[in-house]
């Protein structure tokens, strides 16, 4: 086979793996509850595809091919464990379930169940997002570890523990009933948005991996919306991410310097993404079930309005933050509320709100110090402003933001 041909097959395998990974893992694990076995079987099948497809040509239905191959490898693995007697029912179940489906081109999409399993309340919330990234998107542990700033070994162990718990802990692969759905869905949305946030921070330095992670999160939200089209908050989270995504090109100037949102050039914002976000937000509003993500998207929609009107309605933003703080309070939202109030009603009002924050809680929270420095500077309290700038600069990870704050500090003296 020629190098070009080889490359074509490799890319076909990658494409199927990327697009079908979650569907295949979900389907392979929905009855056995054994995510690790499903993953092993699938990666086994992908390796086989790399030799079989160039030799025999691309199968007509690559997904079904992978599924059949993975199924065989699961059955082999179970046999190999020589616990045939015990696992006979499992084997039979798998055979029954697979036989009828894999031969047709369609097999049920169980990804929604998988998403709910990954964000199950019995699983450590810190592992929800990593687990989702691994099981639904097929990202490897090392890459996930980098995004979460923990060692790859530790991340690997946490993922293994979570999978063991799912397998042995009786966690059911099911879509929660109406009563439990809102709370359970919240955890899924949080996990998706966390992936986006990490991708967003990472991509600061035009880091290719980070960029992908933000895109993967949007893709996950789209999948979720397909599966749950009636849930307003799913549209909310998608709208929120699309608004942020629309500003990607405006976040840095031509020399790579950081540009804060209120100073971005709206001409650089992506109109199609903003329109799509707007549409989702409007559709969500029809359900008359406001929630955290819709409110956050609404705030971004006010910022987007500047592209049309040339001004930011800070009063509206402050109100949205106030509502947000009522339904789901956090230090971040409190700080953002203070920033909005200072724009709407004056820096002294904003500072007064910041003063009510527990100092312990913000010792390592960069946005608090950045906003505080900015407000103190506007109020002419220069030494205090410089001290706050130092705290903010020292807590900054992104070089471009650090440079931006260093510049502001220099100009304040």
Q: Go through 360-374 and write b for each residue having 16 or more CB atoms within 10 A of its CB, e for each that does not.
A: eebeebbebbbbbbb
Instruction: Give how many residues touch other proteins by CB under 8 A.
Output: 23
Q: Which is nearer to other proteins, 327 or 364 (CB)?
A: 364
Is residue 251 within the footprint of other proteins (CB under 8 A)? no
Is residue 332 within the footprint of other proteins (CB under 8 A)? no
Query: Minimum distance between the CB of residue 392 and other proteins, rounded to whole angstroms?
Result: 8
Q: Which is nearer to other proteins, 99 or 149 (CB)?
A: 149
Q: How far apart are CA 191 and CA 96, in angstroms?
A: 34
Q: Give the footprint of other proteins on residues 32-61 (CB under 8 A).
A: none
Q: Give the footprint of other proteins on residues 339-378 (CB under 8 A).
A: 363-364
Q: How far apart are CA 215 and CA 195, in angstroms?
A: 9
Is residue 143 within the footprint of other proteins (CB under 8 A)? no
Query: Minimum distance between the CB of residue 411 and other proteins, rounded to whole angstroms?
Result: 13
Contact with other proteins (CB under 8 A) among 25, 147, 324, 395: 395
Q: Which is nearer to other proteins, 84 or 160 (CB)?
A: 160
Q: Which is nearer to other proteins, 150 or 268 (CB)?
A: 150
Q: HSE-up of 156 (CA within 13 Å, CB side)?
A: 6
Contact with other proteins (CB under 8 A) among 46, 194, 240, 393: 393
Contact with other proteins (CB under 8 A) among 84, 149, 249, 361: 149
Contact with other proteins (CB under 8 A) among 241, 396, 408, 412: 396
Contact with other proteins (CB under 8 A) among 154, 209, 279, 413: 154
Q: Which is nearer to other proteins, 220 or 392 (CB)?
A: 392
**Residue positions counted in the chain:** 413
Which residues are within 8 A (CB) of 212 and not within 5 positions of it... i.e. 6 or more apart?
199
Is residue 256 within the footprint of other proteins (CB under 8 A)? no
Spatial CA neighbour of 336 closest among 306, 309, 303: 303
Spatial CA neighbour of 67 closest among 109, 33, 11: 109
Spatial CA neighbour of 129 closest among 196, 212, 35: 196
Query: Minimum distance between the CB of residue 198 and other proteins, rounded to whole angstroms?
Result: 12
Q: Which is nearer to other proteins, 11 or 410 (CB)?
A: 410
Contact with other proteins (CB under 8 A) among 143, 306, 349, 402: 402
Q: Which residues pair with 258 in a beta bridge?
A: 252
Query: Minimum distance between the CB of residue 215 and other proteins, rounded to whole angstroms?
Result: 23
Q: Give the footprint of other proteins on residues 177-216 (CB under 8 A).
A: 205
Distances (CA, A) of 134 to 21, 105, 161, 167, 220: 9, 25, 14, 16, 12
**Contacting range for other proteins; rule: CB under 8 A; set: 75-83, 226-234, 240-248, 386-394:** 386-394
Spatial CA neighbour of 240 closest among 307, 309, 172, 193: 193
**Contacting range for other proteins; rule: CB under 8 A; set: 78-86, 114-122, 292-300, 400-408:** 400-408
Q: Give the footprint of other proteins on residues 259-298 (CB under 8 A).
A: none
4 is written with which tokens?
Answer: 């070009």
User: Long-range CB contacts (< 8 A, 24+ apart) of 118-122?
Assistant: 118/188, 118/191, 119/184, 119/187, 119/188, 119/190, 119/191, 120/166, 120/171, 120/184, 120/187, 121/184, 121/187, 122/165, 122/169, 122/171
**Contacting range for other proteins; rule: CB under 8 A; set: 264-272, 304-312, 331-339, 393-401:** 393-401
Q: Between helices 314-327 and 292-309, what is the axis angle to 10°?
A: 170
Coil/strand/helix, residue 162 = helix
Question: Which letter does DSSP use for residue 105 in this model?
Answer: S
167 is written with which tokens?
Answer: 């397998």
**Contacting range for other proteins; rule: CB under 8 A; set: 59-67, 82-90, 315-323, 392-400:** 392-400
Is residue 382 within the footprint of other proteins (CB under 8 A)? no
**Contacting range for other proteins; rule: CB under 8 A; set: 10-18, 207-215, 302-310, 385-393:** 385-393
Is residue 229 within the footprint of other proteins (CB under 8 A)? no
> Which residues in this chain contact other proteins in the complex, by CB under 8 A?
149-151, 154, 205, 363-364, 387, 389-397, 399, 402-403, 406, 409-410
């Amino acid at each position: 086979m020629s190098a070009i041909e080889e490359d074509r097959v490799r890319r076909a395998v990658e494409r199927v793996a990327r697009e079908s990974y979650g569907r295949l893992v979900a389907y392979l694990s929905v009855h056995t509850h054994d995510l690790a076995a499903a993953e092993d079987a699938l990666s086994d099948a992908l390796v086989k595809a790399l030799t079989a497809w160039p030799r025999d040509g691309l199968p007509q239905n690559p997904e079904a091919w992978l599924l059949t191959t993975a199924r065989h490898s699961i059955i082999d693995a179970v046999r190999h464990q020589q616990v045939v007697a015990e696992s006979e029912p499992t084997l039979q179940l798998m055979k029954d379930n697979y036989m009828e489906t894999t031969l047709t081109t369609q097999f049920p999409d169980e990804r929604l169940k998988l998403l709910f399993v990954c964000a199950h309340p019995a699983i450590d919330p810190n592992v929800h997002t990593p687990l989702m990234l691994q099981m639904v998107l097929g990202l490897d542990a090392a890459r996930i570890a980098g995004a979460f700033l923990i060692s790859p070994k530790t991340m690997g162990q946490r993922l293994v523990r979570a999978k063991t718990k799912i397998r042995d802990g009786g966690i059911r692969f099911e879509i929660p009933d109406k009563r439990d759905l809102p709370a359970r869905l919240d955890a899924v949305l949080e996990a998706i948005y966390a992936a986006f946030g990490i991708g967003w921070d990472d991509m600061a330095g035009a880091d290719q991996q980070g960029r992908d992670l933000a895109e993967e999160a949007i893709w996950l939200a789209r999948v979720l919306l397909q599966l749950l089209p009636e849930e307003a908050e799913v549209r909310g989270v998608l709208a929120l991410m699309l608004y942020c995504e629309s500003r990607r090109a405006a976040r840095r100037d031509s020399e790579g310097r950081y540009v804060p949102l209120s100073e971005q050039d709206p001409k650089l914002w992506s109109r199609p993404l903003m329109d799509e976000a707007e549409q989702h937000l409007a559709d969500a509003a029809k359900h008359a079930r406001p929630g955290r993500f819709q409110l956050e998207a609404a705030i971004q929609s006010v910022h987007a309005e500047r592209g049309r009107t040339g001004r930011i309605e800070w009063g509206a933003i402050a109100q949205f933050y106030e509502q947000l703080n009522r339904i789901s309070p956090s230090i971040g939202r409190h700080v953002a509320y203070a920033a909005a109030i200072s724009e709407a009603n004056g820096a002294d009002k904003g500072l007064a709100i910041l003063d009510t924050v527990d100092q312990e809680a913000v010792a390592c929270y960069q946005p608090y110090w950045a906003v505080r420095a900015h407000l103190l500077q506007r109020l002419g309290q220069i030494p205090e402003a410089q001290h706050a700038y130092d705290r903010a600069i020292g807590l900054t990870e992104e070089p471009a933001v650090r440079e931006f704050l260093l510049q502001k500090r220099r100009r304040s003296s």
